[in-house]
Structure 1
Amino acid sequence: MNASQPPRQPAPTVPYIATWSAEERSAGPVVLRADGRGIAYRDEVPHDRDAEGVLWMRSGLARGRGKPSFGAVHPARQRRAMRLLLCQVCAEPADRDAEGVLWLLGDDRDDWPGWPEEMGATHPPICRPCALVSLRLCPYLRRGHAVYRVASPEVAGAHGMLFAPSPDPASPRPVPLGPALLPYDGPLTPWLLAAQLSVRLHHCTPTTL
């Protein structure tokens, strides 16, 4: 945060992207698209798909009602935070300086050479005060974390449940194959029921809090 920005309020204890118990999430039922080349909702409406044409998991909007589920990410709020580069905890603009936007990552540097460059991240960026609170409260981050500035984050794809056509001709309903992270331009993306937007991290610079 630079000197011209107003001071932040204390970080909330429940992240903006967390789902609350009053917010029902729905993964279906999905059906074959009319052209047979992907999935759809039988009662689909325009806002069920994003600008790239990917179908999204439906979820209620009742933030703050009931109990928070820290392990369940709210699809609509996660997508909004990613596209607008908002802090995943407080929903204010994420911390940014000359080197880029602040990202707090679990330390998975052994996954491939060059990590996290070109990584597809599904956790939105963060502001510095919320990052410090997250390090105190999040068991996953306490096991290992890394802090980076990302100069060129790029919306690249989505993570969700991948479906396939039913092998039984008498049952046209698509069958779930499992979770997948797919690029927007991938051949299987029409078969994805998205739950989280993926941003590819370009030009990453390690930093500290």
Structure 2
Amino acid sequence: MTTSADPGGLVPFITHREGEDAAPDNLILLPHSDGRLHLHYLDEDPRDRDIHGVLWARCSFNPIDPHGQPTGRPLFKLMHPYRQLMTMQMLHCQVCTAPARTPLGLIFLAGPHDHTGAPQVLTNQPPVCARHVRTAARLCPHLDGTPTVYLAQSAPLYGATGTLYGLGTHGTQPIAQPGPPLPYSHPDMSCFLASQQIRRLASFRSVGLEELLEALRPESA
């Protein structure tokens, strides 16, 4: 998500902050009983994997302020991998972390570079709550203030984007960064280090931003 500074000082929760650095990867590929190599951290913790068992890129966290928000200068062009995972996995608002489902369904905003081609709509953008639809649209320049708005009744988990690892001359090393997201069912997921979780929109329709806001009143702001 590419965001710009908000005059009111609001920064989406998923935004990466200065001082939040990628941890040393200390990755290794090990053989498993299924006959495939699987990617691991040498000091792996259960929290390093998502609910589908895919390994996640490590990143540090800055301290939290009294309002429960991350501190540090916002790096508006980046999403923190774990905050993106947290909000996407729980279907919470990417701006405020409140549950995002509205009486009309789940609201997802998409820009021209999102994975929204037919026959399915895939998104790395966590949903937004009714209160922050307009805010999210304004804060994200790649939406250009006029995002494609999807109202979905269902948005099952699809997969992830990240880096594929393999064995090279220097041991375990990155070998590719696939363009399209990999589905969780893909055999390469055993060697994948994920950085963004992807959902597939189902039972959805595209609506105009103002039309949606009108339908959500007085819940929206």
Q: Same fold (TM over 0.5)?
A: yes
Tell me the equivalent position of 1:7.
none
Structure 1 residues 201 and 40: alpha-carbon distance in aligned structure 2, compared to 1, 3 A threshold:
same
Which piece of structure 1 moves more, 156-165 or 135-144?
135-144
Aligned: 1:30 with 2:35:
no
Contact 1:94–1:101 (CA under 8 A) maintained in structure 2 = yes
Give the alignment of 1:194-209 within 5 angstroms.
Answer: 194-207=194-207, 208=209, 209=213
Structure 1 residues 17-65: Cα deviation after superposition (integer angstroms, max 9, x where no partner): 1111122223613211244613211111221112322110111222532
Tell me the equivalent position of 1:150.
152
Tell me the equivalent position of 1:52.
52
Tell me the equivalent position of 1:106.
111
TM-score (norm 1): 0.81
- The separation in 1 between residues aligned to 2:88 and 2:145, in whole angstroms, is 24
- The separation in 1 between residues aligned to 2:106 and 2:79, in whole angstroms, is 21
The list of structure 1 runs, each at least 4 consecutive aligned residues, that deviate by more than 6 angstroms after superposition, is none
Tell me the equivalent position of 2:86.
80
Structure 1 residues 40-93: Cα deviation after superposition (integer angstroms, max 9, x where no partner): 111112211123221101112225322111222112211111122111111112
Contact 2:14–2:84 (CA under 8 A) maintained in structure 1 = yes
Q: Percent identity?
A: 32
Tell me the equivalent position of 2:3.
none
Aligned: 1:172 with 2:171:
yes
Letter in structure 1 aligned against 2:14: I
CA RMSD of superposed structures (Å): 2.4
Contact 2:109–2:148 (CA under 8 A) maintained in structure 1 = yes
Structure 2: gaps spanning 5 or more residues: 1-7, 65-69, 214-221
Tell me the equivalent position of 2:39.
39
Q: CA deviation at 1:144?
A: 4.9
Structure 1 residues 134 and 52: alpha-carbon distance in aligned structure 2, compared to 1, 3 A threshold:
closer
Contact 2:116–2:123 (CA under 8 A) maintained in structure 1 = no
Contact 1:12–1:89 (CA under 8 A) maintained in structure 2 = no
- The separation in 2 between residues aligned to 1:113 and 1:175, in whole angstroms, is 30
Contact 2:13–2:95 (CA under 8 A) maintained in structure 1 = yes
Contact 1:39–1:174 (CA under 8 A) maintained in structure 2 = no
SS at match of 1:72: strand
- The separation in 2 between residues aligned to 1:109 and 1:56, in whole angstroms, is 21
Q: CA deviation at 1:159?
A: 1.2
Residue in structure 2 matching 1:120, options 115, 119, 122: 122
- The separation in 2 between residues aligned to 1:138 and 1:113, in whole angstroms, is 24
- The separation in 2 between residues aligned to 1:16 and 1:192, in whole angstroms, is 25
Tell me the equivalent position of 1:183.
183
Contact 1:27–1:57 (CA under 8 A) maintained in structure 2 = no
Contact 2:20–2:61 (CA under 8 A) maintained in structure 1 = yes
- The separation in 2 between residues aligned to 1:142 and 1:200, in whole angstroms, is 23
- The separation in 2 between residues aligned to 1:124 and 1:110, in whole angstroms, is 13
Q: How many residues align?
A: 192
